[in-house]
Structure 1
Amino acid sequence: VVGAALLAVPVTRIMTGYGRRPGLVTAYLVGAVGGVLVVLAAATRQVPLLFLGMLLFGGGSAASLQARYTAVDLAEPARRGRQLSLVVWATTVGAVAAPNFAALADRTTRGWGLPSLAGPFAFSAVAFTLAAAVLLVLLRPDPLLTARRLAAAEAPAAADVVPAAAGPTVTGRRGAGVRAAWRVVRERPAARLGIAAVAVGHLVMVAVMSMTPVRLGEYHDDSVVLGVVGVVLSLHIAGMYALSPVVGWLTDRLGRRQVIIGGLAVLLAACAVAGSAGHHTPGLSVGLVLLGLGWSGTMVAGSTLLSESVPAAVRPSVQGLSDLTMGLAGAAAGALSGFVMQVAGYPTLALLAAIATVPLLALALRVVPTRVPEEED
């Protein structure tokens, strides 16, 4: 999680100067190197190498997160939510298949002499390498550079247009830094709402979801708890991704802010249901499904709003800043939720997660988001 957050910034710097394709390819290759290092660490029992490998392994997640923005570079304004949501929806395949594939990968690689539990990382390294190769060959023309070229043709006098050149331009370098991205976000209420929606929705989701297996373990026998956890989390993942196209359609149909507010309402309902479910697994499952749906609303609508609220020259940097903020929020939620769970229990954790949505809800009700003028693209 931390690796994906930290790698978001350098990956988007590459995108700002050279386009989406080099950035995504680099991120996947970094993830592949991380997977190899984890396997080597398991074989040599080197803990520092394991931490380094896990950090770099986050490159795969960084690429997957940035891919959703690639989908909207050339999308029509009225279809941006749907385009972005399709990429999020595609994550369902990996999220559902990966846990079932992990055991097979582990058995296969143990037959090759690799340590136990190293198999999924070895196969992931291969998958990341294949993804990088596919993008390198097929992602042409580069959508970000093409979008900039089209914007330049429509508004050649726009000061912040970055030409689709072979290397980084002055404008691209100027817009690549985190500081520049923060300045842009601070100046645009819609961008602030977009980045806050993504971060807060992720924080709430991670805080409640990460302690759900512990909650289930409190009242299920050890012989069945793993199966119950698998079912509940599978339902949660389905809530996160399976209905993403519907969320994207609603984002285009009803508006970005309206779907963000709706997502927050669902998150509040999820916290209420999960926190009050007690030792009732079906009730807790409903809460986790709602948690996934609320996350989907804030993620899809927030990402769409953020992308269309900033100029093209700084768009990748702002998107990277959003992923950095989201990742750090999730890491903080995961770390603190264990402490809260131990001290005060699961219902209190759900209550605190619900309270965390209040500032964002106030911002969403106050801000009237508007898309950045086309001449700024």
Structure 2
Amino acid sequence: MNQKNSAVFDQYISSTAAQQKLYKRTLIIVLMSQIFGGAGLAAGITVGALLAKDMLGTESFAGLPSALFTLGSALAAFIVGRLSQRLGRRYGLSFGFIAGGIGAIGVIFAANINSVALLFIALFIYGAGTSTNLQARYAGTDLANEKQRATATSIAMVATTFGAVAGPNLVTPMGKVATAFGMPALTGPFMLAAVAYILAGLTLFIYLRPDPLLVAKAIAEQQEQQQMKITKTVNIVQHKVNRIGIFVGALVLVLSHVIMVAIMTMTPIHMQGHGSSLSAIGMVIGLHVAAMYLPSLGTGLLVDKVGRTFVVIASGITLALAGLLAAFAPGDSLLWLTIALMLLGLGWNFGLISGTAIIIDSTTIHNRAKTQGSVDVWVALGGSAGSLLSGVVVAYSSYAYLGFIGTYLALLLVPVVIWARMKQKNKIASASS
């Protein structure tokens, strides 16, 4: 830590009131960036598959766009996690959002010149915004105590709702804007995404000062130095790392994301095949995204008050119900598909916030951002595989079969989290005996 940073951080190290003031200010900045980020996120979800279908002329590879931008988000998650650990959240998150905006611009150019190769490259880069939107949830937790972590995560996700819900419902208006400029209608949402992601990145780069992760590191280092004076030992951090917790938290995040992405990706194609309009598809996806983010504050409080295990089980059951309902709902039933997609979003929300809290509980400030980035790499890779395979499953089987697969995977969460809870209890009992 250089002298300039040390002088800035001193006031936070010595004052709990200053820490809480910065914690609240950080949440406000994250809220602002997430409103923009949510709008950028929605474009690829809503029309990415439809744009690829038009350009490729087949549904067999309709899951490829989602696979590409989730694969791109995997690389971005790794880079953003490492940048954040080394330089702070400000640099890591602003880099990721601006890269996502550049990718959205690339998609627009690709559609206008009808270049499939450029489309694939641009979607890959666009994925940086997706992973950064998820990683931004961690920024508010850096200065949160153990009873605030899930709530802090949820506050960041609630903010995403405003942009994420508005985004799909702006598909038709933005399509008209695009056609007014002589561009394909489906590039309209990516015009919105480009502006939204870049604004999110600039908001974080300009206003996220001092950096909450760097301040939290400085506070932790000061506490460790004081503890070393008392205990006369240097090994005061390693025992706090819970590898079982990291594994379980990662598995919850990955499975819930795979299930959600796979079913969500193919729903617009499924609906379009049964005669639904683009506006109807936008409404269903908008309500799905609302269910993904809007319940966050309640979920965060539930995780902090009732416990991580309970909410993980709730996630598994809700996702399983969503898969079954999607499988049995008539393809032309707007009502039942909307309910299925809203349950899908809610189950994902339960899994994301509970899994995130488990990861934070299982790490220390010295390795947290790096671990979070690594876990989000697997989340993105899982989402990429889920979206790519979902197109193949539907093309060679059916949308209903995809729903059954989602149900099976969701139910796996229940025994895994119960096993982890029993393992943790046995470990505590052994340590106390």
Counterpart in 1 of 2:283? 231
Counterpart in 1 of 2:408? 355
Counterpart in 1 of 2:369? 316
Picking from 233, 257, 265, the partner of 1:210 is 265
Counterpart in 2 of 1:152? 221
Q: Deviations over 1:205-233 (max 9, x none)?
A: 12222233344345x4x3x4444433333
CA contact (8 A) 1:92 1:238 kept: yes
Q: List aligned pairs for 1:90-169, cutoff 5 A.
A: 90-108=159-177, 111=180, 117-156=186-225, 157=228
Q: Deviations over 1:216-257 (max 9, x none)?
A: 345x4x3x4444433333332222112111111100011112
Q: Distance in 2 between matches of 1:303 and 1:151?
A: 21
Cα displacement (A) at 1:273: 2.5
Counterpart in 1 of 2:41? none
Counterpart in 2 of 1:282? 335
Picking from 236, 245, 250, the partner of 1:195 is 250
Q: Distance in 2 between matches of 1:217 and 1:110?
A: 21
CA contact (8 A) 1:35 1:125 kept: yes
CA contact (8 A) 1:210 1:334 kept: yes
Say if 2:72 is the partner of 1:19: no
Counterpart in 2 of 1:252? 304
Cα displacement (A) at 1:107: 3.9
Q: Distance in 2 between matches of 1:295 and 1:101?
A: 23
Q: Deviations over 1:77-98 (max 9, x none)?
A: 1011111011111111111111
Q: Secondary structure at 1:140's aligned position in 2?
A: coil
Alignment-mate amino acid for residue 257 of structure 1: T
Q: Using the TM superposition, name which of 121-130 and 291-300 deviates more.
A: 121-130
Counterpart in 2 of 1:330? 383
Q: Distance in 1 between matches of 2:400 and 2:165?
A: 28
Cα displacement (A) at 1:319: 0.9
Q: Deviations over 1:74-127 (max 9, x none)?
A: 112101111101111111111111123344444445555666544443443333
Say if 2:394 is the partner of 1:341: yes
Going from structure 1 to structure 2, the CA distance change for 1:285 and 1:103 (only over 3 Å counts) comes to: closer
Cα displacement (A) at 1:45: 4.3
Say if 2:116 is the partner of 1:57: no
Cα displacement (A) at 1:19: 0.6
Q: Deviations over 1:19-69 (max 9, x none)?
A: 100101111222232233333434444443332222222222222111001
Cα displacement (A) at 1:311: 2.1
CA contact (8 A) 1:211 1:337 kept: yes
Counterpart in 2 of 1:33? 102
CA contact (8 A) 1:197 1:360 kept: yes
Q: Secondary structure at 1:194's aligned position in 2?
A: helix
Q: Distance in 2 between matches of 1:113 and 1:209?
A: 30
Say if 2:417 is the partner of 1:367: no
CA contact (8 A) 1:3 1:57 kept: yes
Q: How well do the aligned residues superpose, as a CA RMSD in angstroms?
A: 2.7
Cα displacement (A) at 1:137: 1.9
Alignment-mate amino acid for residue 335 of structure 1: L
Counterpart in 2 of 1:271? 323
CA contact (8 A) 1:148 1:161 kept: no
Taking structure 2 as the reference length, the TM-score comes to 0.73
Q: Using the TM superposition, name which of 36-45 and 361-370 deviates more.
A: 36-45
Going from structure 1 to structure 2, the CA distance change for 1:293 and 1:124 (only over 3 Å counts) comes to: closer
Gapped regions of structure 2 (runs ≥ 5): 1-69, 425-433
CA contact (8 A) 2:172 2:279 kept: no
Going from structure 1 to structure 2, the CA distance change for 1:112 and 1:213 (only over 3 Å counts) comes to: closer
Q: Distance in 2 between matches of 1:339 and 1:133?
A: 38
Going from structure 1 to structure 2, the CA distance change for 1:259 and 1:133 (only over 3 Å counts) comes to: same
Cα displacement (A) at 1:281: 4.2
Q: Distance in 1 between matches of 2:235 and 2:117?
A: 43
Q: Distance in 1 between matches of 2:390 and 2:117?
A: 26
Picking from 275, 291, 295, the partner of 2:348 is 295
Q: Using the TM superposition, name which of 15-24 and 35-44 deviates more.
A: 35-44
Matched length: 346
Q: Distance in 2 between matches of 1:161 and 1:137?
A: 35
Q: Using the TM superposition, name which of 225-234 and 335-344 deviates more.
A: 225-234
CA contact (8 A) 2:168 2:286 kept: no
Counterpart in 2 of 1:243? 295
Going from structure 1 to structure 2, the CA distance change for 1:45 and 1:286 (only over 3 Å counts) comes to: closer
Going from structure 1 to structure 2, the CA distance change for 1:327 and 1:159 (only over 3 Å counts) comes to: farther
Q: Distance in 2 between matches of 1:88 and 1:350?
A: 26
CA contact (8 A) 1:160 1:312 kept: no
Say if 2:317 is the partner of 1:262: no
Counterpart in 2 of 1:170? none
